Amino acid sequence: MIKTIFFRKSVLVSMLITFFISVYSCVEPNEFTLGIEIDTELPQILHGAQKLKEFALTNQIPIVEKDASYIIQIAIDSLQLKPEAFAISVHDKKVLVKGGNATGVMYGLLDIKEQLCGKVKKIIEKEESPYLKFRALKFNLPWEAYRSSQTLLEHTETCRDTLFWKDFLDMMAENRFNKLTLWNLHPFSRMVKTKKYPEASPFSDAEMKEWEVFWHSLFRMAKDRGIETYMVNWNIFVSSEFAKHHKVSDLSRSNEKYIGKGDTAQVVKDYMRECVRETIDKYPNLTGLGITLGEGMGGMTAQEREDWILETVVAGARQASRKIKFIHRVPLSAGTASSGSTDVTVEKLTRQTLDTLTCFDGPINIELKFNWSHGHSTTKLVKVHGGELSDTYWNPMPDNYYLAWMIRNEDFFILRWGQTDFIRQHIAENVHPYVNGYYVGSETYIPAKDYITSLEGASTTYAFERQWMFYKAWGRLLYNPKTSNTYFAKVYEKRFPNDGNTLFEAQLKTSNVPLIIASYLNARWDFTLYSEGFLGFNDGPPAVKLLSLETIANRNPMDPGYVGVKTFLAANEDELKGKLTPIQLADSLYSSCNKALKSVEMIAERDNVDLLYEVSDIKAWAYLGLYFSDKLKAAVAYQKFLKTKDLVNHQEAVDWLEKATMNWSEIVKVTEPVYQPVPIEHKGYRVDSNLFHWSIVQEEVEAELKWLKDLYKD
């Protein structure tokens, strides 16, 4: 059907949008006006119209009630357009924004706002349709967090502030993300005080009411922007108050552990059913729930874990007064441990459950971690959480669920990132008929309070705003992977006139650095690699957290197109055909990073703090790439020395590591003026502190060089 929204003055926020805009020529801002008067109660359209109005007021575009030259008419056409699709057409003096639904119209209005942001005030005809239906952000909440630390608690106040969520959700809508997944060990004690188990709540009735108001506001704001909301938890966790009162679940009593034995007592099962049912009934704007079969289920078999979910979460959902949508993460462990493993038998067991769960609203969504916790690596699917994956989940094609890839980021929390070519390639290689989308986000970094920006004068308020390109690149390309690099370059140019295109091209080059590091070093769970710090778990001496020459030489790269150091030295020429050797990879990094450095060296950023950070981050990535390039060559020479004891090889390794050390010093020079040591949730790297800065790591960089030199002395 097609529905035109007519205009009259009977609504609180209504808008008839009109423009004096020539479709064929560039017109100055003072040559067009806006008229406001929309008659609709659809909140998504009102949101788009309000953002367009705010843009007009900010940019001194006159708002008039009549005598407008161009009228923007709005229509919903669900026959011609898919949900969330939009089309903008221009005929004579009328601009028609059609959407497949209200969210599609909202995207169209936001697109017009974006078109008018630049120097050229011109609306062009266009039509866009969502390539993927499931475009989700992963957001870990700081209370009852997956890990316990002051780093995460820093965000508590910000994450209780609806003003923060308004801005975060506005960003999501503008970048066309349509799912917000909120992750927490046990969210329910802050959402409901169940009638049957009031002792499980740590809050008074007044405090509980404040929490309820917060959740209602958050879910409503998300829905008004076309964003579905999901609460995703790990199992089996209960509130510490419930655990102490009923003498159950040692894991939940301290709120400091997330791996341990699962408690399957009947009172725990009943409590979970009550939590699920009452949460669904209390929050009608909450879209769905998600579950994990993992950390809190130690000692249980795969069948026992699945049965527990069916008897608690699924049973509670069935008892609720409405149907919800459901996310079922695939099992993280095939055995009774929680360390992570895969097995085709468990995949078949899980698939049998997924094929028969028909009590939810629409298809279930299953989540798999693409290349474990380091999705920003190779675009080739090498492993999921626990190891390699068979084709059980998609062969034969499922009817009752779709798969969405989880792209975890545990690799860059400080430096800005945006590699659009990587995202496009990822989508092209990994979207199949059984895949409907992606999740993007971190486990150990919350993009709320900005405690990283040190200098005054930056335009950002919240952490997610620092990584604006990260969200823009992922969101826009998940919606439409054909979005060109020209579009992103123009976005840069609007932010940084005269320097935008240079910045975009330089960031494209340097954003490859963490991808290459993670692809080569083949990490697993979160702390096994922190790419921007070049930290991780080593394979051998020296016993430092800086990733060592020994580790680099030992690793078999994750990317099947790369060749490891030992394989390279042992292989013949035919065996290396079609592969990128360590030397070739190092040379490629050297070339691209130096080009990026040269391109930004003339940008004058002193009077613009935002520009200073953009340039500094590009330089930091470039020097980190050069550090890895030199260290990779040092690792090759070092491995030759171990095999041959030839002192020429030893000296070559020293020479390359000296160059690497100098490049690390350059990282420190670039980052010290703009960043102070900041807390990161990678406690395993530092015994005495979780503070990170490249200057802190420099001592280990220099110690490794000394260690290498001392391996052989005349």
Task: Say which DSSP state 314 is in.
Answer: I
Is 328 in the same domain as 462? yes
Residue 497 lies inside a defined structural domain of this protein: no
Q: What's 113's domain CATH number?
A: 3.30.379
DSSP three-state, residue 508: helix
Is 588 in the same domain as 451? no
pLDDT of residue 149: 79
Tokens 């995460």 map to which residue? 152
Q: Is 545 exposed, middle or buried (0-12, 13-18, 19+ CB in 10 A)?
A: buried
Q: Which two tokens stand for residue 316?
A: 């509670």
Is 431 in the same domain as 357? yes
Helix or strand run (H / E) with residue 245: helix 240-246
Residue 297 lies inside a defined structural domain of this protein: yes
Pair type for strands 325-329 and 364-369? parallel
Is 189 in the same domain as 96? no
DSSP three-state, residue 19: coil
Residue 500 lies inside a defined structural domain of this protein: no
Is 141 in the same domain as 54? no
pLDDT of residue 685: 52
Tokens 């940084």 map to which residue? 496
Residue 579 lies inside a defined structural domain of this protein: yes
Number of domains in the chain: 3
Is 110 in the same domain as 253? no
Could you tell me the sign of the dihedral formed by the alpha carbons of 471, 472, 473, 474, in that order? positive
The Cα–Cα gap between 212 and 207 comes to 9
Is 54 in the same domain as 142? no
Helix or strand run (H / E) with residue 7: none
The 3-state secondary structure of 390-435 reads CCCCCCCCCCCEEEEEEEECCCCCCCCCCCHHHHHHHHHHHCCCCE
Q: Is the peptide bond before 679 cis (omega within 30 degrees of 0)?
A: no
pLDDT of residue 408: 97
Tally Cβ neighbours within 10 Å of residue 397.
Answer: 8
Is 522 in the same domain as 452? no
Residue 75 lies inside a defined structural domain of this protein: yes
Is 316 in the same domain as 461? yes
Residue 488 lies inside a defined structural domain of this protein: no
pLDDT of residue 514: 98
pLDDT of residue 3: 42
Could you list the mean pLDDT of each consecutive 10-residue stretch along the chain, which spans 714 residues? 37 36 35 69 95 88 69 91 96 88 97 84 90 98 85 93 98 98 96 97 97 98 98 94 94 76 95 98 98 91 95 97 97 89 95 95 97 98 95 97 98 97 98 98 94 94 98 98 97 94 98 98 93 90 75 96 96 91 98 98 87 97 98 98 95 98 98 93 59 94 95 74
Is 228 in the same domain as 355? yes
DSSP three-state, residue 327: strand
Could you tell me the sign of the dihedral formed by the alpha carbons of 266, 141, 51, 75, in that order? negative
Tally Cβ neighbours within 10 Å of residue 264.
Answer: 19
Domain boundary among 84, 112, 128: 128
The Cα–Cα gap between 406 and 383 comes to 12
Is 586 in the same domain as 606? yes
Q: Is 167 exposed, middle or buried (0-12, 13-18, 19+ CB in 10 A)?
A: middle
Q: What's 169's domain CATH number?
A: 3.20.20.80
Instruction: Tell which residue, 118, 90, 88, 86, has the closest CA to residue 100.
Output: 86
Residue 106 lies inside a defined structural domain of this protein: yes
Domain boundary among 78, 111, 128: 128
Residue 374 lies inside a defined structural domain of this protein: yes
Note down the domain range covering 703.
512-710
Question: For the chain, how are helix, strand and coil distributed in percent, rounded to 5?
Answer: 45, 15, 40
Q: Is the peptide bond before 61 cis (omega within 30 degrees of 0)?
A: no
pLDDT of residue 687: 45
Instruction: Tell which residue, 507, 591, 281, 523, has the closest CA to residue 382.
Output: 523
Q: CA distances (Å), 198 to each of 202, 218, 240, 277, in order?
A: 9, 24, 13, 15
Residue pair 649/538 in contact (Cβ under 8 Å)? The answer is no
Is 684 in the same domain as 633? yes
Domain boundary among 113, 128, 143: 128
> Residues 6 or more apart from 113 whose CB is under 8 A from it?
48, 51, 52, 55
